[in-house]
């Protein structure tokens, strides 16, 4: 008998990663100052939803997972390893729980609305998509170019890779936006159908080929392709015909460089604080909650 519901996040300390793997790659900055308050708030919200709450931290499980990425020539950076890890844990938890919600640690519950009662996971994986900040570059990307040179984590790079994978795999791509996995609601049936880790090596090979030559996108775009979890997640969602539903701003409102001082609308349930300006969103100093 499965348990009913769980909400989980990942809090892997940069200090522990940098010390164990002898790297200085990861930096937490302001998130580290608010980590405790964020976990308490997420836990309180989970309890109000009748869900368990779990926080996955640095340990042997993550170390073993990272080693497997190295062995499969998937590993690119520790930040990206964490992004794959959350999908691994999501898949794992759906075998134990009927409904599983992943939220990044920088997601602040603004209102304690029960997401499990509002969104029926049986209708499909629930996730929100995003496009480039500038409308002119949304249009430019449709023509295979951009007005700027992107970086691997640019939304346009992720979108281009998603579409390139679909094109190469002869898969219908019904979306012009790449999905952001910071807030993802799923169940076992759809995670098994997504088949993320069973197809990881074949997808890796496709990305490596596209990185060298993509017949549609400009070379300064496709040279930035990486094994990005959001591009791959989106591609496999379409390839394997996984039912999905789009979260709206009420369930995934973003605070970033476009609106750094803007307060979230009253009806917002979850705020994704990408810019890490938590005080603007929460009204708290660090560790007050």
- Whether 140 contacts 155, CB under 8 Å: no
User: CA–CA distance from 126 to each of 102, 122, 157, 190 (Å)?
Assistant: 11, 10, 22, 11
pLDDT level of residue 1 (50, 70, 90 thresholds): low
Q: Which of 53, 7, 57 is nearest to 28 (CA)?
A: 57
Residue 81 pLDDT > 70 = yes
Q: Which of 103 and 257 is assigned the larger pLDDT?
A: 103
CA distance 74 to 88: 14
- Average pLDDT of the chain? 94
Q: Which helix (DSSP H) or strand (DSSP E) does residue 129 occupy?
A: strand 125-130
CA distance 55 to 12: 9
Name residue, tokens 């009420």. 250
Lowest mean pLDDT among 14-28, 70-84, 138-152, 231-245: 14-28
Q: How far is CA 212 from the centre of its chain?
A: 26
pLDDT digits (tens, 9 = 90+) for 147-170: 999 999 999 999 999 999 999 999
For residue 107, what pLDDT is reported? 97
Question: Which residues are within 8 A (CB) of 22 and not within 5 positions of it... i.e. 6 or more apart?
Answer: none
pTM: predicted TM-score of the whole model, two decimal places: 0.95
């Amino acid at each position: 008998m499965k348990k009913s519901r769980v909400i989980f996040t990942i809090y892997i300390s940069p200090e522990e990663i940098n010390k164990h793997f002898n790297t200085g790659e990861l930096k937490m900055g302001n998130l580290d100052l608010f980590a405790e308050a964020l976990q308490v708030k997420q836990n309180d919200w989970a309890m109000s939803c009748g869900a368990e709450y779990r926080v996955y931290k640095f340990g042997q499980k993550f170390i073993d997972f990272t080693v497997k990425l190295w062995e499969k020539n998937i590993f690119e950076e520790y930040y990206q390893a964490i992004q794959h890890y959350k999908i691994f844990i999501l898949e794992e938890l759906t075998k134990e729980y009927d409904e599983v919600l992943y939220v990044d640690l920088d997601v602040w519950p603004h209102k304690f609305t029960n997401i499990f009662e509002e969104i029926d996971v049986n209708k499909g994986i629930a996730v929100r998509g995003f496009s480039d900040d500038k409308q002119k570059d949304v249009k430019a990307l449709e023509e295979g170019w951009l007005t700027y040179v992107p970086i691997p984590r640019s939304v346009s790079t992720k979108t281009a890779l998603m579409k390139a994978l679909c094109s190469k795999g002869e898969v219908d791509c019904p979306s012009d936006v790449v999905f952001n996995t910071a807030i993802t609601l799923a169940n076992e049936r759809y995670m098994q159908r997504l088949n993320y880790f069973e197809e990881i090596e074949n997808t890796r090979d496709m990305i490596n080929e596209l990185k060298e030559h993509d017949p549609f996108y400009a070379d300064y775009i496709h040279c930035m392709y990486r094994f990005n979890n959001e591009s791959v997640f989106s591609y496999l969602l379409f390839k394997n015909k996984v039912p999905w539903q789009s979260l709206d701003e009420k369930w995934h409102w973003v605070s970033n460089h476009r609106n750094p001082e803007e307060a979230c609308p009253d009806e917002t349930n979850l705020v994704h604080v990408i810019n890490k300006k938590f005080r603007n969103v929460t009204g708290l100093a660090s560790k007050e909650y």
